């Protein structure tokens, strides 16, 4: 291929896409992704007020950190730190984090079922420090009243190698 | 302490499983690496964990995965070293400007499409701990990578190494590999600088510069002695071989401590090794079989254990997965085709080059694992990209047979002049 033709082809086929790439990187700066909530979290609250003993035991059965969150955009997967490593789906919408499904009272899950743990909480951010404040319910357990709680992120996903 | 019985059982199951599936895939004219990749996915939550969760939990308890990961990382470090050793700058020089143009276009087009796709994926699959620039560059790099070893293996199996298409594909893939790893290194630095990196940016950049200079101008000269010894004696002494392994491991550890990743150091160590045919052959004889048969299947299995097709949940997620696959194919196959046409190749050769360059194989898995480790991609996007890597690798052989059937390969080879036949034989030896 003649040199001039090669340079023209290079400018067209490599230079133009490079400019396009710069345009994409520039326009992408306007995009916003959901707040980062991935990592390990501790939960604090007066769970002794749960009236049902089995529900109370279920919460105390979960070690610290209480749960970890795996995040894919607004979709969350909670893994409780109990012996069964129970997983629950969740979402983040703006600054509201939801864990588990909100079953109506009388759900077949009943009291003390790990899948019945449900909360909705507001997210507050300070740098990489993240905290949740909300109300935890044992969905399907008529005896236990909702418990206010606060959760603090212990470790955001660290940008390290394997 | 690890439960050694569990670890040994895991290794046995993984090696047996990967061999079985690889043999099955070879019956369908697929490269065996394709079968090994699929075997790894099958051992993870996508199949075994889904069909037999209790068996999966007892065979791969979460507490044991750290040890499996460590072993698999050793495997990928040695493999990346071999990829670096196999890279021969001569294959690029033989094609001159044409190969440079073709390879650069085959990188930039999928890179551009990957970055454009990031505009759509970023708000849906990322979180604010990763900036758009890092994510878009990562998507671009992941779309533009080519599996140099898989490509070379397919060409060798089909006897295409010495053909015009084969030698151009090898040259392009070599440039793609080096460029791709350089871009990925930049992305890792960028992402870690923006996050909670344990290594300050100035340490990473300054240290990397010093390390590169040392490797290229210092270590490379010392390593020439290995090449000379191998040429004169036909082998290296055990002490020399041990020293060579130490150089590779030290290089990997240094890049890891500089805030990059183990694989970069291993690859760099391979690139600076002597390129004499006897030395390269000797290194492959010593390291290839244990790495490919024992250690790499562990890496595939560990990748499979991190991949869950079930996280691709719902029609919308599957649609995104399909879009990723289509964009990956359009970018790499289409980009390489355009590049080859612009460089003067015919339609058949250009399409063949596109198909070959579209094979991503293990290289894609390495990139995606780095991306997941540093948090630039989420678990669901990781799983989608793994599927993309499987599809693009799987389609290579049947598409190539369709566009460039073996009878044409034989015809082209029979028409080669004696001069070209010598060149082809040299290339065959160098690659196989």
Domain spans of chain B, in order of start: 4-425
Q: Do A10 and B101 touch (CB under 8 A)?
A: yes
- How is residue B180 written in tokens? 């791709």
Q: Do B311 and A72 touch (CB under 8 A)?
A: yes
CB-nearest to A25 from B136, B344, B379 is B136
Residue A54 shares a structural domain with residue A104: yes
Q: Do B123 and A24 touch (CB under 8 A)?
A: no
Residue A61 shares a structural domain with residue A84: yes
Q: Do B127 and A71 touch (CB under 8 A)?
A: yes
Task: Name the β-bridge partners of A96.
Answer: A93, A122
CB-nearest to A34 from B62, B128, B262 is B128
Residue A59 shares a structural domain with residue A123: yes
pLDDT per position in chain B (432 positions), as tens?
Answer: 557 888 999 999 999 999 999 999 988 888 888 888 899 989 988 889 888 888 888 889 888 888 888 898 898 899 889 888 887 766 666 666 667 788 888 899 999 999 999 999 999 999 988 889 999 999 999 999 888 777 777 777 777 766 777 777 877 887 787 788 788 888 888 777 665 555 677 777 788 889 989 998 988 888 888 889 888 888 888 999 999 999 999 999 998 888 777 888 898 899 899 988 889 889 989 998 898 888 989 989 988 888 888 888 888 899 999 999 999 999 999 998 988 888 778 888 889 889 999 988 888 888 898 888 888 999 899 999 999 999 999 999 899 889 888 787 777 767 655 555 554 554 454 444
Mutate to test the interface with A, among B127, B138, B179, B194 (most CBs of A within 10 A): B127
- State the fold for domain B4-425: Na+/H+ antiporter like fold (1.20.1530)
CATH number of the domain within which A114 lies? 2.40.128
CB-nearest to B101 from A9, A31, A71 is A9
pTM of the model: 0.81
CB-nearest to A13 from B137, B256, B338 is B338
Q: Do A73 and B140 touch (CB under 8 A)?
A: no
Q: What is the extent of the structural domain holding A119?
A: 39-155
Q: Do A158 and B338 touch (CB under 8 A)?
A: no
Residue A47 shares a structural domain with residue A121: yes
Q: Which residues does chain B have within 8 Å of residue A154's beta carbon, measured at their own beta carbons?
A: none
Residue A63 shares a structural domain with residue A139: yes
CB-nearest to A36 from B111, B129, B140 is B129
Residue A162 lies in a domain: no
Task: Give the distance from residue B364's alpha carbon to the nearest chain A alpha carbon, in angstroms.
Answer: 17
Residue A140 shares a structural domain with residue A71: yes
Task: Give the distance from residue B337's alpha carbon to the nearest chain A alpha carbon, in angstroms.
Answer: 12
Domain count, chain A: 2
Task: Give the distance from residue B421's alpha carbon to the nearest chain A alpha carbon, in angstroms.
Answer: 24
Task: Give the distance from residue A27's alpha carbon to the nearest chain B alpha carbon, in angstroms.
Answer: 8
């Amino acid at each position: 291929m003649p040199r001039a033709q090669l340079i023209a082809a290079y400018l067209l086929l490599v230079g133009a896409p490079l400019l396009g790439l710069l345009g994409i990187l520039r326009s992408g700066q306007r995009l916003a992704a959901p707040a980062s909530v991935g990592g390990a979290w501790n939960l604090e609250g007066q769970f002794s007020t749960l009236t049902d003993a089995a529900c109370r035991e279920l919460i105390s059965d979960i070690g610290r950190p209480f749960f970890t969150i795996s995040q894919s955009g607004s979709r969350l997967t909670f893994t409780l730190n109990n012996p069964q490593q129970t997983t629950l789906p969740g979402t983040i919408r703006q600054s509201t984090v939801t864990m588990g499904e909100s079953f109506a009272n009388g759900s077949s899950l009943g009291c003390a079922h790990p899948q019945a743990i449900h909360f909705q909480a507001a997210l507050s951010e300070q740098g990489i420090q993240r905290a949740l404040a909300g109300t935890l319910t044992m969905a399907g357990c008529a005896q236990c009243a909702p418990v206010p709680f606060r959760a603090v992120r212990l470790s955001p996903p660290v940008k390290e190698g394997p | 302490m690890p439960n050694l019985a569990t670890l040994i059982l895991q290794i046995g199951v993984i090696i047996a499983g990967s061999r079985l599936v690889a043999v099955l895939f070879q019956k369908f004219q697929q490269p065996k690496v394709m079968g090994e990749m699929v075997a790894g996915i099958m051992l993870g939550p996508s199949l075994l964990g889904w069909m037999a969760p209790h068996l999966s939990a007892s065979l791969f308890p979460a507490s044991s995965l750290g040890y499996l990961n460590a072993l698999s990382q050793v495997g990928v470090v040695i493999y990346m070293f071999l990829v670096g050793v196999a890279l021969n700058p001569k294959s690029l020089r033989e094609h001159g400007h044409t190969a440079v143009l073709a390879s650069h276009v085959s990188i930039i087009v999928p890179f551009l499409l990957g970055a454009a796709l990031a505009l759509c994926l970023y708000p849906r699959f990322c979180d604010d701990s990763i900036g758009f620039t890092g994510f878009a560059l990562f998507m671009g790099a992941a779309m533009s990578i080519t599996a140099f070893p898989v490509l070379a293996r397919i060409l060798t199996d089909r006897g295409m190494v010495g053909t015009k298409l084969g030698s151009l594909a090898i040259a392009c893939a070599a440039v793609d590999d080096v460029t791709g790893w350089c871009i990925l290194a930049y992305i890792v630095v960028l992402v870690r600088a923006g996050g909670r990196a344990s290594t300050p940016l100035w340490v990473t950049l300054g240290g990397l510069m010093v390390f590169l200079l040392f490797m290229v101008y210092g270590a490379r000269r010392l390593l020439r002695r290995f090449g000379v010894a191998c040429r004169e004696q036909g082998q290296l002494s055990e002490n020399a071989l041990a020293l060579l392994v130490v150089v590779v491991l030290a290089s990997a550890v240094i890049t890891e401590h500089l805030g990059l990743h183990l694989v970069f150091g291993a690859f760099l160590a391979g690139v600076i090794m002597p390129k004499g045919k006897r030395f390269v052959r000797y290194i492959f004889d010593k390291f290839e079989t244990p790495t490919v048969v024992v250690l790499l299947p562990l890496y595939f299995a560990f990748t499979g254990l991190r991949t869950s097709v079930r996280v691709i949940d719902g029609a919308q997620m599957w649609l995104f997965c399909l879009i990723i696959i289509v964009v990956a194919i359009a970018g790499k196959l289409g980009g390489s085709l355009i590049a080859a046409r612009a460089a003067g190749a015919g339609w058949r050769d250009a399409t063949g080059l596109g198909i070959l360059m579209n094979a991503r194989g293990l290289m894609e898995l390495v990139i995606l694992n780095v991306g997941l480790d540093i948090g630039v991609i989420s678990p669901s996007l990781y799983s989608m990209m793994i599927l993309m890597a499987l599809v693009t690798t799987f389609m290579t052989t049947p598409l190539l047979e369709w566009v460039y059937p073996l009878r044409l390969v034989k015809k082209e080879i029979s028409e080669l002049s004696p001069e070209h036949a010598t060149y082809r034989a040299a290339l065959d030896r160098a690659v196989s």
